[in-house]
Amino acid sequence: MVIVLSHTIRESDKIRLREYLEEKGFQIREIVGEENTIIGAVGIHPVDYREVELMAGVDRVIPISKPYKFASREFKKEDTVIPVGRLKIGGLRIAVIAGPCAVESREQIMESARIVKECGAVFLRGGAYKPRTSPYSFQGLGEEGLKYLKEAGESVDMPIVTEIVATEHADMMRDYVDVFQVGTRNMQNFELLKKVGSLGKPVIIKRGYAATIEEWLMAGEYLLAHGTDNVILCERGIRTFEPYTRNTLDLSAIPIIKKLSHLPIIVDPSHATGIRGKVPPMALAAIAAGADGLLIEVHPNPVKALSDGPQSLFPEQFEKLMRDIEALAPVIGKEVERLPEEVVIQTGTEAAVGDTENKVAFQGEAGAFSEMALHRFFTGEQIASVPCQSFEDVFEAVLKGSVRYGILPIENALSGSIHENYDLLLRYPDVRIVGEHTIRIVHNLIGLPDSDLSDVKSVFSHPQGLIQCKEFLDSHPDWEKIPYYDTAGSVKHVADAGKREFAAIASVEAARVFKMKILKESIETNPRNYTRFVILAREDAGEVLRPDKASIVFAAPDKPGSLFLFLKILADRDLNMKKLESRPIPGKPWEYMFYLDIELKNEQSIREAFSEAVEKMKTESDIFRILGMYRSGD
Ligand code: PEP
Ligand code: MN
């Protein structure tokens, strides 16, 4: 059963409840969610739920109808996201695990690690113990293989995944391994599951080649019941009457698991098909069907592989597959998980300049309005601004950890929201908003240092710059107006061209950076021209102190009054909505995501009302995410 605790439960009530359940022989597990805390209690002894419901501090009790309990969606509604170091598996990410079937030598695994990392995999796989059908086949290097695998993982800063085949190996393997794998042949080796579960490390449990989905979930339940919270299911094909492929890949298991369980599911198309040419299409199909990741065999020279050569990808094939996955990810609203970039920590007096700690990414050329906004937001702090080509590059830099923060324009007072950035916020689940800042946009006509207003014949600027200075430009009908990708970039263009008849529209800052002359100041039609920027950081950056604003996004179901219902949840709790923006959901015509900004007055009561509202909204929507809680810049 799932016991939802009341927000006001006292510690003493919690202890009493735990004691009561333990006395009745229940295994219990507490999950502290964003909005509420639940206790999952699993046991063979019948208990009258009403009795539990009447205990102090209990809000409600929900029975779990399935035989697998901790693994079921009934136990936990939200998708489980499994942390492994700085990486995550689950949620809106696609994690790719790659490497050879077996660790064959130190050189082979080092080379494999380098290849798969370069192509974009985030975990390194390799078997040190190989459960082979024939006793005469290569059995793996054992502990020596684990040493090489660990060294290879460390050399590229990738966590390692390897299979455990025997209970007695567990304690020895623990220090080598980041993620354990239990193979198809051992899915119902219950003693092994109990032991591996008790180690508390993440475990990939492969589906038995003759196992039903329910049996597979029960195997996951064994792991969860014995101590680990971090279980990843892996579909690797089942045995059917079809001999053309090694196994038959059951992709329908993905949506079924997604419905039945909160656990992430990955797919191994290598063992499923047994033929390398069939691996890329099935890998892409798995991602399209909703898999949270892939386990793929890649070998530096598959022809010489000691095991599973025919199904191992050549490095070039894997590189192409990774590029295809990158292209597919945004179509299904997911992000390919990436390793954070290594940060070179400098020593000595120069440290402050080269350090990630001080770097903030912005889109555009030096002197862009974004750069002005970031200097104002970080006033008084020693920071280095890092120009990026596109808004997406800003997200990438933050995600990879090559900068500490990013800044993005999100809304202009005259032209409205910058939709691309709303869409990107949704696509990057590991990046969140940690602040905001609004600046006034003052446009200037800028030319070469020796030019004059009367020289001007062509004006370059970002299309918005041209629109926002329409009145001024209309008073010069003979000028050619040429849209450019960026305001500061247009100044650079005029500077590089060296033509006196060229001018650009941009900030004072851009004129200063490129040593140009302001031909006419403040030419914007409406002086009340403001742009609001948001500051981004990685999800695992620290919490913002005393937030007074929250941004959320959700999909409202396609039924009468559904948006009204969401807004009512806020209204009923006296929560002030500051902004509502809708965006179409890619691939779902006429369905929309709604982005909301909510005022969080600092009093505890409002914060609690917000948590309560979040809990309620989550139950009403399939997609719900808090984009950030931060200090408002108003
Ligand atoms: C493996 O991943 O190396 C392996 C042996 O897989 P399976 O257990 O799915 O056959
Ligand atoms: Mn293999």
| Mean pLDDT (the chain, rounded) | 91
CA separation for the pair 351, 337 (Å, rounded): 29
Q: How far is the CA of 311 from the centre of ligand 2 (A)?
A: 8
Residue 348 binned pLDDT confidence (cut-offs 50, 70, 90): very low
In the predicted model, what is the mean pLDDT of residues 381-402?
91
Contact 487, 462 (CB under 8 A): yes
Q: Quote the percentage of the chain above a pLDDT of 90.
A: 71
Q: Examine the pLDDT at 98 and tell me if it is beyond 70.
A: yes
| 531 noted as active-site residue | yes
Residue 399 amino acid letter? L
CA separation for the pair 147, 568 (Å, rounded): 58
Residue 67 amino acid letter? P
Contacts of residues 242-247 at CB distance under 8 Å and 24 or more positions apart, as own/partner, are 245/272, 245/273, 245/274, 245/275, 245/278, 246/271, 246/272, 246/273, 246/274, 246/275, 246/311, 247/209, 247/271, 247/272, 247/273, 247/274
CA separation for the pair 45, 368 (Å, rounded): 67
The atom number, within ligand 1, closest to the CA of 130 reads 5
Q: How far is the CA of 72 from the centre of ligand 1 (A)?
A: 25
Q: How far is the CA of 271 from the centre of ligand 2 (A)?
A: 6
Residues around ion ligand 2, judged by CB within 5 A, are: 101, 308
Eight-state DSSP code of residue 248: B
CA separation for the pair 459, 466 (Å, rounded): 9
Q: Quote the percentage of the chain above a pLDDT of 70.
A: 97
Between 374 and 350, whose confidence is greater? 374
In the predicted model, what is the mean pLDDT of residues 259-268?
98
CA separation for the pair 246, 556 (Å, rounded): 43
CA separation for the pair 296, 634 (Å, rounded): 49
Taking only the tens place, the pLDDT of each residue in 530-562 is 899 999 999 888 778 788 899 999 988 888 888
Ligand nearest, relative to CA of residue 302: 2
Contact 21, 28 (CB under 8 A): yes
CA separation for the pair 469, 28 (Å, rounded): 65
Q: How far is the CA of 133 from the centre of ligand 2 (A)?
A: 11
Q: How far is the CA of 178 from the centre of ligand 2 (A)?
A: 19
CA separation for the pair 615, 334 (Å, rounded): 23
- pLDDT number for residue 378: 85
Contact 334, 94 (CB under 8 A): yes
CA separation for the pair 368, 377 (Å, rounded): 14
Pocket residue to mutate for ligand 1, from 137, 138, 163, most atoms within 8 A of Cβ = 163
- pLDDT number for residue 539: 84
- pLDDT number for residue 349: 29
- pLDDT number for residue 121: 97
The atom number, within ligand 1, closest to the CA of 237 reads 9
Residue 175 amino acid letter? D
Pocket residue to mutate for ligand 1, from 101, 130, 165, 206, most atoms within 8 A of Cβ = 206
The one catalytic residue in 533, 566, 594, 610 is: 533
Taking only the tens place, the pLDDT of each residue in 138-152 is 999 999 999 999 999
Q: How far is the CA of 156 from the centre of ligand 1 (A)?
A: 23
Report in angstroms the alpha-carbon separations of 274 from 196, 310, 324, 341. Answer: 28, 7, 21, 34
Report in angstroms the alpha-carbon separations of 123 from 126, 297, 599, 628. Answer: 10, 12, 40, 28
The atom number, within ligand 1, closest to the CA of 186 reads 8
CA separation for the pair 242, 255 (Å, rounded): 23
Contact 28, 41 (CB under 8 A): yes
Q: Examine the pLDDT at 35 and tell me if it is beyond 70.
A: no
CA separation for the pair 546, 444 (Å, rounded): 38
Residue 598 amino acid letter? I
CA atoms within 13 A on the CB side of 85: 17
Ligand nearest, relative to CA of residue 236: 1
| 533 noted as active-site residue | yes
Q: How far is the CA of 183 from the centre of ligand 1 (A)?
A: 5
The label of the residue with tokens 């062509």 reads 458
Residues with CB under 6 A from ligand 1: 101, 127, 163, 183-184, 206, 236, 268, 271
Among protein residues, the one with the nearest Cα to ligand 1's atom 6 is 183
Which stretch of DSSP H or E encloses residue 352? helix 351-354
The atom number, within ligand 1, closest to the CA of 101 reads 3
Q: Examine the pLDDT at 634 and tell me if it is beyond 70.
A: no
Ligand nearest, relative to CA of residue 127: 1
Among protein residues, the one with the nearest Cα to ligand 1's atom 10 is 184
Residue 34 binned pLDDT confidence (cut-offs 50, 70, 90): low
Number of H helices, E strands in the chain: 21, 30
The one catalytic residue in 531, 554, 566, 610 is: 531
Mean pLDDT is highest, among 35-39, 48-52, 294-298, 461-465, for 294-298
The atom number, within ligand 1, closest to the CA of 181 reads 2
